[in-house]
Amino acid sequence: MLFRCAILVACSCWGVHVHAAEQPNILFILTDDQGWWDLGMRGNTDIDTPVIDQLSRDGVDLTRFYAAPVCAPTRAGLMTGRYCFRTGLYNTRFGGDTLGSGETTIAEVLKKAGYRTGCFGKWHLGKYAPYQPHNRGFDEFLGHYHGHIDEYDYPDQIVHNGKPVEARRYVTDLFTDAAIEFIEGAKDRPWFCYLALNAPHSPWVVGTSHDGQARGDLLINKYLKRGLVLREARIYAMIDIIDQNVGRLLKRLDELDLADDTVVVFMTDNGGVSKHFKAGLKGNKGSIYEGGVRVPLLVRWPDHFPAGGVVAAQCSHVDLFPTFCELAGQALPADLKIDGISLAPLLKAGAGQRHHEYVYHAWDRYHPNPNNRWAISDQRWKLACQVRTGEQATQQNWRLYDLANDPGEKNNVLGKHPQIVKRLRTEFLRWFREVTDGVKYQPAPIPIGHPDERLVEIQPSWATWRGKNIEYVFRGYDWDTIQGWREPGESASWRIDALRGGEYEVAISYGRSARGGGTLKIAVGDQAVETSPPATPTADVFTRIVIGRVSIPRGATTLKAEVVKAHGVELMRLNGVFLRRVGDLKDR
């Protein structure tokens, strides 16, 4: 390719940059909830993943590579090179899945270095502008913001560069198509393509549409015949489709004569959810045991990284940020502590026994917690503690494993090695204090009035709700409700941040049974509007009505929805509040 052989001058929004040859393209494929063991190459004889297996033979396999136990924390680490707690991200839902605005993403770094940047698939690092991918360094985004979607054949909640769009085609095929078109369009610039497939995350949906059912049934049947139960057969069928699409993508790289100029990275974002074959590992997604955090990482760059290389050193998802920076010839951001260490030396050697002295894990949905579900490992030992959500751990729950000889974490040897336990726990607490120091963990205030997002949906899951009867019901984001409102004063409130002051139109989306009803007040600061909305066909049929206007000054304030009066079963099911700046109405 021309841009390998010449000095290039590329323009970006940071200005003009001159960079030398040898900036490889980067194709980063991330799948969702696919386990370390959900690959033929791990000895799983029931799953067909021939393309990804071949990728491991053509590249380097990092056999002790760690993600976080769940989706968004891993993605925060991937995008920033920093453990998620530093970035303010602490949850996978409720607005706690927002990457702090002070962070620098790998897309921003690569864009500045002259790369064309694209993200296709699941973002899961912020729903609102300016937290959306195209605000955070990606020239092109097609995908969804939340942790999952509900429809895979005609995928729902799909957004293109900030604008909701309708899409058809099975979602894995669709995002791969978008990645291919992006690569074809990049032409004379290096590119960074982040293909963040949302499969095989639940719901385990294959072939439900009129035209897609035949393929789905064939694949599910293939795995049922191998003795899998239906749930597992569905997961394997989704992974089978992933493998076929990785094949399509790699074939297109060959056809475009780009394979030698492209670093291909394949990994998954946390432990697997499948249970049919576990390769001897303990735990699944959400766990701090190896099955929850050890994930595949395969890296191919012909003539640069030796085919068949195996790296046994423990490495972490936070390492990809500095690795990509080094491959692109970019310095790390000077103003942020980067936890990752570039993998480039290990990849070039195709071998390595040491990298991070320690790797750390902590997961507690509602607030960072150093006691209930945590782990730390060095190259040999792992100290881990895990109790059920809501339970309080004691030292009785601590486990020490000799990972070098017991990767399945079967034998707790805690009693035999008190000095190792002390060393690991002390280091874990030091790390936990450092990464959480000075960071406040709460949903980011919802920005309104951003020029990229003229109509803002105030999402139910970001609310704080108060009242005896009121409850938040999770139904895949777009169908979430706050419901059960029956008594005056029951309320839901949100923190919002008006980026521009002015008059805003207030609308709600709601469903209301004729067996209930009443009056709801929406207050923003000291202004309020009220509505007594008509019944809808059932309480689960939602409609949107405009209920008035309020004046909102620039800055942070509170939006509160509150029962004025109610009768019958409930006032309504509130599916969302919508704010639109009135000056922007004419731009619709």
- Answer whether 40's CB lies under 8 Å from 248's CB: no
Question: Interhelix angle for 230-255 vs 213-225, to 10°?
Answer: 120
Judged by beta carbon, residue 116 or residue 127, the one nearer Ca ion is: 127
Q: Give the integer Cα–Cα distance in Å for 270 and 31.
A: 9
How many other CB atoms sit within 10 Å of the CB of residue 332?
17
What is the phi/psi pair of residue 551, to 5°? -95, 125
Least Å distance, CB 115 to Ca ion, is 26
Judged by beta carbon, residue 78 or residue 259, the one nearer Ca ion is: 78
Least Å distance, CB 71 to Ca ion, is 4
Least Å distance, CB 98 to Ca ion, is 17
Judged by beta carbon, residue 33 or residue 339, the one nearer Ca ion is: 33
Least Å distance, CB 86 to Ca ion, is 20
Least Å distance, CB 201 to Ca ion, is 6
Least Å distance, CB 476 to Ca ion, is 15
- Give the residue nearest to Ca ion (CB): 71
Least Å distance, CB 385 to Ca ion, is 22
Judged by beta carbon, residue 157 or residue 527, the one nearer Ca ion is: 157
Diameter of the chain measured on Cα atoms: 74
Q: Which of 296, 277, 236 is nearest to 36 (CA)?
A: 296
Q: Calculate the alpha carbon distances from 160 to 49, 119, 132, 141, 339 in Å.
A: 30, 10, 10, 6, 31
C-alpha torsion 472→476→477→480, nearest 10: -30
Least Å distance, CB 236 to Ca ion, is 17
Least Å distance, CB 274 to Ca ion, is 13
Least Å distance, CB 271 to Ca ion, is 9
Please write down the HEC assignment for all residues of 382-436: EEEEECCCCCCCCHHHEEEEECCCCCCCCCCCHHHCHHHHHHHHHHHHHHHHHHH
Least Å distance, CB 190 to Ca ion, is 28
Judged by beta carbon, residue 267 or residue 456, the one nearer Ca ion is: 267
Judged by beta carbon, residue 53 or residue 269, the one nearer Ca ion is: 269
Distance of alpha carbon 141 from the chain centroid: 14
Beta bridge mates, 399: 384
Judged by beta carbon, residue 289 or residue 542, the one nearer Ca ion is: 289
Judged by beta carbon, residue 267 or residue 424, the one nearer Ca ion is: 267
Provide the 3-class DSSP secondary structure of residue 61: strand
Judged by beta carbon, residue 32 or residue 140, the one nearer Ca ion is: 32
The single-letter DSSP state of residue 461 is G
Half-sphere exposure of 204 (CA within 13 A, CB side): 20
Q: Give the integer Cα–Cα distance in Å for 72 and 211.
A: 33
Q: Which of 32, 33, 39 is nearest to 61 (CA)?
A: 39
Judged by beta carbon, residue 122 or residue 454, the one nearer Ca ion is: 122
Q: Kindly tell me the burial class for residue 66, based on how many C-beta atoms sit within 10 Å of its own C-beta (0-12, 13-18, 19 or more).
A: buried
Judged by beta carbon, residue 180 or residue 375, the one nearer Ca ion is: 375
Contacts of 119 (CB under 8 A, 6+ apart): 107, 133, 138, 140, 141, 143, 194, 196
Could you check whether the bond before residue 130 is cis, i.e. omega within 30 degrees of 0? yes
> Which stretches of the chain bind Ca ion, using CB under 5 A?
32-33, 71, 269-270
